[in-house]
Each structure stands twice: as C-alpha cells, then as structure tokens.
Amino acid sequence: MATIMDSMTVKPLSDALGVEVSGVNAADLGEATFKELREIFHENLVVVVKDQDLSPAEQTEFAQRFGEIQYHISPEYLMDGQPEVMILSNEKEDGKFIGLPDGGSEWHSDHSYVDQPTGYTMLHAIKVPKDGGDTEWTNMVKAYETLSDEMKERLEGVIGIHSFNRLKNQRLTVPVRHMNDPDYYKRSPPDAFHPIARTHPHTGKKALYISPRFTIGIKDMDDTEAQPLLDKLFAHIKNRDFIYRHRWTEGDLLMWDNRTTLHLALLGVPEGQARRMHRTTVLGEIPF
Ligand SMILES: [Fe+2]
C-alpha cells in the first residue's frame, strides 16, 4: 500500500489489472491529486475510488475533467435533467425499466462501433444487489504483449470492422426485448474501422482493440481467413490471467480505460434485488 500526495491511498485490485483508491473525494480533487490519479489510471487501466457519494452533476463534472462527455446513441435511459448520465438498472416504475437492464453482456469496449470511440467510462454504484451483478475486465495490453511475435507481425496495420448492429454479428443473437423492434437496428451508425493493435495516446503501449460484441470482421480480408483469426484472438483475451472480477460495493466510483480493456457484465441479479449504476462516458481520440 502506498500513500500518494496527502491522503490518497492506492492498492492493487488484482494481478491482472486495476487499483483501489481511497481517502479522496472525487467531487473535490485538487489539480495535482487529479493529475496523479489520471497517471495511475492510465498505468493500471481500471481504478475504483471507494466510498463516493456523488450527485449526477458532480459525477458529470468529474468526468469532464478527463475530456468531453460522450452521449449514448440510444437516448432512452439518459437521466432527466442530466443527460450526461445514463442509468443502468433493473428497477421498474409503472412497469417500465428506469434504466438499461441488461447492457454489456458480451465482452466489449464502449462505443467501439463509432469513428471516435469512448476513452473512459465511469460507473457510480448507487444500489448494489446482495447477489450477482459483478463485472469483469480483461487487460488488452497483456493480451497483446503475450501474443507470439508472428501474430504481432500478422496484425500490424490490420483493421477491424466494428458494428453496433447485432444482425451483422454471427457470434450474437438478438435480445428478446428487441426482437419486434426493427427500428432499434435502424439506429445503428455506419460501421467503424479501427487498428486491431491500437496505441495508447498517453502511455504509448499497444493493446488489442477488438471485441466479440462489436468486431464483425477484418477490412480487406475474406471471412474464411478473418473469422478464424478473430476466434483465436477472442479465445486469447479470455485467459483468466488477464481478467479481474469486481464485486461492487455501494459508493464505488469505478472507471476504466476503453483503449486498453474490455468489460463484461455478468448479470445474474435475482428478481427483487435492485441494482442501479450511474454511467458517464468520456470521448476518446480516433484510434491509431
Ligand atoms: Fe459497456
């Protein structure tokens, strides 16, 4: 355990990635402490700041210190009066979900299906169920670094195709709640094209930038070659040595770097137990 600045305490979350930070108030961070935190974040990929009690406005202000807010393409679950915050929840009011109930149930990096994807995502745990609702992250820097030299060479300059549209993804099925909603897929933006080996703008490290949820193929490569290659890489990123599983505690403000991690919502919350998270996303750069 190391004490940085005056009161910020930092300890590792796992061998795979991540640190836990305590002793700070994210709504009131001095500039020097903020810069230190951002540095730690880039190096460790996931940071959970413990015991936070942020209003949606305070969470938005914290997120804006990292860059410009990115709004979700689906306006359905943005918070009234604070659209920078999206609600993730299994709670219902008048028979309708008040937030996105089942997001993230395949490995993905947020918004990788647009030209300028999310840099950072912050989730603030407001209500945590007794059972289920864990989230996993996989370290895509380690995933890249542990590839063979031949594979790294093979991926040099290779471009992945990312799509929001589940109908284009042979690895996925359509969720029941969207089956009778063709408009849901019409909202899909055009496919995006990103390097499979992506460079982090601050650390200079390379990471794999593909996901089973959004990467549907490889540019200028026939599917007979591209799909087996993707299958091989998707199997590789699920190595448990790269993965951290988070059991949430109320007050957690957890942020991850979407350039260097994928995440997975494990769901499994029993009926009658409430889960509510407030999510903010910060725009990243065009991947290179
Ligand atoms: Fe996500």
Say if 2-104+117-128+246-283 and 139-237 have the same CATH topology. Answer: yes
| CA 104 to ligand 1 centroid distance, Å | 5
Contacts (Cβ under 8 Å, ≥6 apart) of 8: 21, 22, 23, 24, 33, 36, 37
Tell me which of 3-12, 153-162, 262-271 is least confident.
3-12
Q: Is the distance from CB of 37 to CB of 52 less than 8 angstroms?
A: no
User: Whole-angstrom Cα distance, residue 58 to residue 53?
Assistant: 9
| CA 88 to ligand 1 centroid distance, Å | 10
Quickly state the pLDDT bin for 180 (edges 50, 70, 90).
Answer: confident
Q: Does an H or E element contain 254, and which? A: strand 253-257
| CA 210 to ligand 1 centroid distance, Å | 14
Mean pLDDT of 232-254: 98
Give the model confidence (pLDDT) of 88-131 as tens digits: 999 999 999 999 988 888 999 999 999 999 999 999 999 999 99
Report CA-CA distances (Å) from 10 to 13, 41, 49: 9, 11, 9
Mean pLDDT of 74-82: 92
| CA 78 to ligand 1 centroid distance, Å | 15
Around ion ligand 1, residues with a beta carbon closer than 5 Å are 104, 110
| CA 108 to ligand 1 centroid distance, Å | 6
Mean pLDDT of 210-238: 98
Mean pLDDT of 83-87: 97
Model pLDDT, residue 1: 53
pLDDT at 175 over 60: yes
Q: Where are the domains of the chain?
A: 2-104+117-128+246-283, 139-237
pLDDT at 9 over 80: yes
Specify the pairing of strand 243-246 against strand 197-199. unpaired
| Alpha helices, DSSP H, located in the chain | 31-44, 56-64, 140-145, 149-155, 182-186, 223-237
Quickly state the pLDDT bin for 135 (edges 50, 70, 90).
Answer: very high
Q: Which CATH superfamily hosts domain 139-237?
A: Clavaminate synthase-like (3.60.130.10)
Model pLDDT, residue 3: 46
User: Whole-angstrom Cα distance, residue 263 to residue 245?
Assistant: 10
What is the 8-class DSSP label of residue 28? S
Tell me which of 45-49, 166-170, 276-280 is least confident.
166-170
pLDDT at 5 over 70: no
| CA 207 to ligand 1 centroid distance, Å | 18
| CA 283 to ligand 1 centroid distance, Å | 14
Fold of 2-104+117-128+246-283: Double-stranded beta-helix (3.60.130)
Model pLDDT, residue 265: 96
Mean pLDDT of 146-170: 96
User: Whole-angstrom Cα distance, residue 43 to residue 246?
Assistant: 18
| CA 103 to ligand 1 centroid distance, Å | 7
| CA 265 to ligand 1 centroid distance, Å | 8
Residue 65, SS3 per DSSP: coil
Residue (of 248, 251, 244, 247) closest to 24 by Cα position: 251
| CA 7 to ligand 1 centroid distance, Å | 31
Give the model confidence (pLDDT) of 17-46 as tens digits: 999 999 999 999 999 999 999 999 999 999
Which contacts (CB < 8 Å, 24+ apart) does range 182-187 have?
187/73, 187/74
Mean pLDDT of 155-173: 93
